[in-house]
Structure formats: C-alpha cells, structure tokens
Amino acid sequence: MILASLITYTQAIILGLLQGVSELFPISSLGHSVILPKLLGWNIHQNDPYFLAFLVATHLATAIVLLIFFWRDWVRIVKGIGRSLRDRGIDPDDTDAKLGWLLVVGTIPAGVLGLLLQDPLRHAFASAKSAAFFLMLNGLVLFGAELLRRRAPQVNEDDDARIARTVGWRGAFGVGAAQAIALIPGFSRSGATMGGGLLVGLSHKDAARFAFLLATPIIGAAAVLKVPELFGHTGDGIRGQALVASLCSALTAWFAIKFLMRFFETQTLTPFAVYCFVAGAACTIYFFS
C-alpha cells in the first residue's frame, strides 16, 4: 500500500480527538469518521482495512475510559451478579444485581445484531453522502425521543436503584436492540440508547448513565475482537498513529463523560438534535452539489 494512502499523525490526532467526543455525545462517531475525511479531502475510506483497524484502537480507548470512570459501579454490579448466581435468584432489594442483569439483557441483542449486521450495513452505507443524510435523520430521532418520552417521576433514591426500578426487562432488551441502528454511519449509539431510556421513563441523567454503562461491554468486546488485526499485516504503517489517536480519544472521552453527566442533570437531547439535523443537512447539500 502506498504511503500516501495511510494516516498521518496530524490526521490521527484530529480523528482521535473527534472519536472521544463523538462516541459519547449522541452525534455518531462512525458518521463523523466517514464525513470528516471527505470534507477535508483526505485519501481515507471507511472500508479501508487499515482504517478499520485504526478505529478499533480508538474505540478500545473509549471503552477503557468508560470502565475507569464507572469502575466503582462495575465492582458493585459484578458483585451483585455474583450474589444472584450464588443465590440462584435476584433479591428484590439487590439493586446492583438487578441492574447487572438488565445490562446483560441489553447487551445480548446489541451483540447479536452487531455480529450479524455490522459488515453488511457498513459496506452498504460506507459513503459520506449517506452518512450525512443519516446524521440528519439521527437529529430527527433525537427530536422524536424528546417529544415521545415518558416523564420521569421525581423520586429521591439512589441512581442505580431508580434505573433498575424504571427500566425493566423488556425495556432493557429494547434499549439494547436500539443500539443496532448505530451500525449505520450517521446514527448514534449513545443517542439511540439515551432515546430508548427516555421512552421507558428514565430522566435524562439516568438515561445517559444507563447508556454509558451499557456501551462499555459492547464497545469493549467489539474492539477486543478486532484488536489482533492491528498487530497483523493490516496494522502495518499505522500502529504509531493508532496509539497517538487512542491517547487523544481517551483524553476527550474522559472530559466528554464528565461534561455530559453534569449537562443532563438539567438539559435535554435537543441541542444535539439541532446540531445533527443542521450539520447533516448542510453536508448532504454540499456533497450532492
């Protein structure tokens, strides 16, 4: 492969910084990874094997940051699942066990649909034009979630207890399945999950928290399965760039989580819906003109 087609360190830094933000903000990291190179005239295509390996590294960095940020929660959740296995049932008062199994239920459809649909959808819609169009539709999805959301009751209890009580098994399965829409560049995984959380009755803050917890095993597992490709011949010429991009992605992901957990205490998905619709429409017009 010729050197001109590989990723430069400047491009790696830009893509890494963007990945950390766009993966957690409900604005589609995959969509931005397709659109930005086209806008800047970079010789990078989403289906280039080396670029997929490069993106895997940045996704893994994001998953690690999520795990570190919520590590206390994950310790309690894993212990709760362990107690339920030991007791062969979930104690009604064991919030950590209930939340843990809700995350398992939500992870199953996302994982199965991802394995079945990831490659076909990525190949079918791997163009900046389609990504821009679907980014616009992602804005409409976020608008719809806000319009249709169930109002969360004001209950003074622990965050995880409130989430476990509100979501339910059917809701967890539906929210997990909704993540499959993010396999299409332009649609957001976190946006679909947060929107699903609002529809089952979570507050914006709880929907964001549930989305980030649910995203951790999905993003992490998908990245770990693909990481060996980075150390094979596919990764030749981009391993250094992937490392730099991963560090940049981890940095912006950390600040993105901190910002969003505070933002959703009082704010809604509407600003992100406006951004996605306007940016998607503008890019669609630009690409087709």
Tokens 């940051």 found at? 65
Nearest Cα residue to 106 out of 21, 19, 187, 192? 192
Reply yes or no on whether the pLDDT at 5 is more than 60. Answer: no
Reply yes or no on whether the pLDDT at 156 is more than 80. Answer: no
Tokens of residue 24, six digits: 């957690």
Count CA atoms within 13 Å of residue 141 on its CB side.
26
Reply yes or no on whether the pLDDT at 144 is more than 90. Answer: yes
Reported as a single tens digit per residue, the pLDDT across 228-273 is 888 888 888 889 999 999 999 999 999 999 999 999 999 999 999 9
Nearest Cα residue to 257 out of 70, 42, 1? 70
**What is the sign, positive or negative, of the torsion defined by CA atoms of 63, 69, 70, 74?**
positive
Question: How large is the average pLDDT for residues 57-76?
Answer: 94
Q: Are 237 and 5 in contact (CB under 8 A)?
A: no
Question: How large is the average pLDDT for residues 183-208?
Answer: 92
Question: How large is the average pLDDT for residues 184-202?
Answer: 93
Nearest Cα residue to 90 out of 3, 168, 185? 168
Helices (H), the chain: 9-22, 29-40, 49-69, 71-87, 95-124, 128-148, 159-178, 189-199, 204-230, 239-263, 270-288
Integer Cα distance of 123 and 146 in angstroms:
31
Question: How large is the average pLDDT for residues 45-49?
Answer: 76
- DSSP state for residue 235 in the 8-state scheme: G
Count CA atoms within 13 Å of residue 287 on its CB side.
21
First to last CA, the chain: 31
* 203 vs 122, higher pLDDT: 203
Q: Give the Å distances, CA to CA, from 1 to 156, 157, 176, 197, 234.
A: 59, 57, 38, 44, 10
